[in-house]
Structure 1
Amino acid sequence: MDPKNMFANLGSMLASTMFLWAVFQQYFPTHHIRGQIDKYFQRAFNFFYLYVQVTFNEHTGERFMRSEAYSAIENYLSITSSTQAKWLKADIGRNNQSLVLSMDNYEEVADEFGGLRLWWAFGKTVSRTEAFSFFSSTDEKR
């Protein structure tokens, strides 16, 4: 089988899978059944996925304290990100005299540590709450 036909078949198979999944979600909206299928699909995907992903949240506990691990990683990456990243954000340092550069949202840089290739990515997730409030209704995790 030549590579051209293999990619065409793979594309057709993926399109068919996506179509069937959309139909399934439409006619079987039960969260329990979809949750079980999602769980097994994720297990099958992880079988072929060779990478490990570790997430460090900016805030810990009651969301009032900034994570020490997050701060240490931010400090470690300040030099790497300022030389590799295309999108940076700037802030004033602790002594109010130095400028600190860090990665902006959804930016990624590569690093090597102990012979391993690492990719550091900065991202955020925003979840909306359904409660009535005079304040912002978004809960942002970075």
Structure 2
Amino acid sequence: MVQEHIPFQLQDHLAARLHALLSPYATITIDDKSSHYFSRCEAFFAVEAYLGASPCAANARRLRADLAEGADRMALAVDDHEAVADDFRGATMWWRKTKALPSANVITWSPRNAERRSYRLTFHRRHRALVENAYLPHVLAEGRAVTVRNRQRRLFTNNPSADWSAYDDARVWSHVKLEHPSTFATLAMDPVRKQEIIDDLDMFRDGKEYYASVGKAWKRGYLLFGPPGTGKSTMIAAMANFLDYGVYDLELTAVKSNTELRRLFIETTGKSIIVIEDIDCSIDLTGKRKKKKKDKKKKKMTPPWARDDDEELMWRRDVTKS
């Protein structure tokens, strides 16, 4: 009787709403495309790496294998429209990978944007706190660790902004395989100083929780200076081999604006070394420095008797100190 008077589309809609109200399960969707233009969707790739390396992948009927450039082994991932079940602290988590094609009236400018993939996590509602507070952080941490183990260390260089594409982040940086034999064992420098650097790198590598506890970003800066041929590049290669990090060689002369510089930094990956060469002479970092130089030049051209009281006082202090 009801089916005769209610359209099929409305019946499907009502059935879906009723199922959602009565179902004891909840779903979380993780898309491969981020909603922010300048951000990388790390969660999707972390989930993909985690599922490909976890024991639950052994029960999957369809897997996708990919060999990264220079890698020694293939990385496995769950194929499209495949579902797997993962057990975590006695709770069962169901993962399903989906793929959706755009509508016929949608114009895409890149093959990468032609389709959207996502992972759907389904779990019982009583496990929601466990999923949010423990399971998802566990998946992200393990997925990132798997990615680091599988990735080939690379040397990246930034491309000119004229070659960039608003629809393809891969054009921002170009890369080659990082094959530099330098290590701290072969580095010719003072042994005491060398050990200090090694100890400092060890503390930094194991200090993520400490940096978070004091409210600081997990990063470390080193200033290397000296004429060409004194071993600056060799030191950087030794640090990269010691930490097992990739290297981004940032050429500031190819950067035209703060927006371009921001995008370059955002498109770098975690656990990497960013090398900025000749930072003191490539660009004007701030207008304040430029103004300070002008004020200093003006100060030299102005005799002491023509300055105001504050400026004369500062000049007298400088003379006294010298």
TM-score, normalising length: structure 2 = 0.30
Change (3 A) 1:70 1:21: same
Which whole-Å deviations, capped at 9, do the CAs of 1:109-139 have from their partners, x for residues lacking one?
Answer: 1111132111111111112241578976x83
Change (3 A) 1:87 1:58: same
Aligned pair count reads: 114
Change (3 A) 1:101 1:42: same
RMSD: 3.4
Residues 1:20 and 2:6 aligned together: yes
What secondary structure, in the 3-state scheme, does the structure 1 residue paired with 2:75 have? Answer: strand
Q: Match of 1:21, as an amino acid?
A: P
What secondary structure, in the 3-state scheme, does the structure 2 residue paired with 1:52 have? Answer: strand
Distance in structure 1 (CA, Å) of the matches to 2:94 and 2:35: 26
Residues 1:105 and 2:80 aligned together: yes
Which whole-Å deviations, capped at 9, do the CAs of 1:86-116 have from their partners, x for residues lacking one?
Answer: 1111101365332011111110111111321
Distance in structure 2 (CA, Å) of the matches to 1:106 and 1:50: 23
- Which of residues 19, 23, 27 in structure 2 aligns to 1:45? 19
Residues 1:85 and 2:64 aligned together: no
Larger radius of gyration: 2
**Matches for 1:106-121 after TM superposition, within 5 Å:** 106-121=81-96
Question: Is the CA contact (8 Å cut-off) linking 2:57 and 2:84 kept in structure 1?
Answer: no
Distance in structure 1 (CA, Å) of the matches to 2:77 and 2:103: 26
Change (3 A) 1:85 1:139: same
Name the residue aligned to 1:7.
none
Name the residue aligned to 1:29.
none
Distance in structure 2 (CA, Å) of the matches to 1:126 and 1:78: 24
Change (3 A) 1:127 1:64: farther
Residues 1:60 and 2:34 aligned together: yes
* Post-superposition offset of 1:19: 8.1
Distance in structure 1 (CA, Å) of the matches to 2:74 and 2:5: 50
Question: Is the CA contact (8 Å cut-off) linking 1:127 and 1:139 kept in structure 2?
Answer: yes
Distance in structure 2 (CA, Å) of the matches to 1:111 and 1:121: 11
Name the residue aligned to 1:122.
97
What secondary structure, in the 3-state scheme, does the structure 1 residue paired with 2:30 have? Answer: coil
Change (3 A) 1:69 1:135: closer
Change (3 A) 1:91 1:108: same
Which whole-Å deviations, capped at 9, do the CAs of 1:52-108 have from their partners, x for residues lacking one?
Answer: 111101121357854111111111111335411011111013653320111111101
Which blocks of at least 5 consecutive residues in structure 2 are unaligned? 118-322
Which blocks of at least 5 consecutive residues in structure 1 are unaligned? 1-12, 26-33
Name the residue aligned to 1:31.
none
Distance in structure 1 (CA, Å) of the matches to 2:22 and 2:33: 32
Question: Is the CA contact (8 Å cut-off) linking 2:78 and 2:97 kept in structure 1?
Answer: yes
Q: Match of 1:76, as an amino acid?
A: Y
Question: Is the CA contact (8 Å cut-off) linking 2:108 and 2:114 kept in structure 1?
Answer: no
Structure 1 runs, 4 residues or longer, greater than 6 Å off: 132-136
Q: Match of 1:52, as an amino acid?
A: A
Residues 1:140 and 2:115 aligned together: yes
Name the residue aligned to 1:9.
none
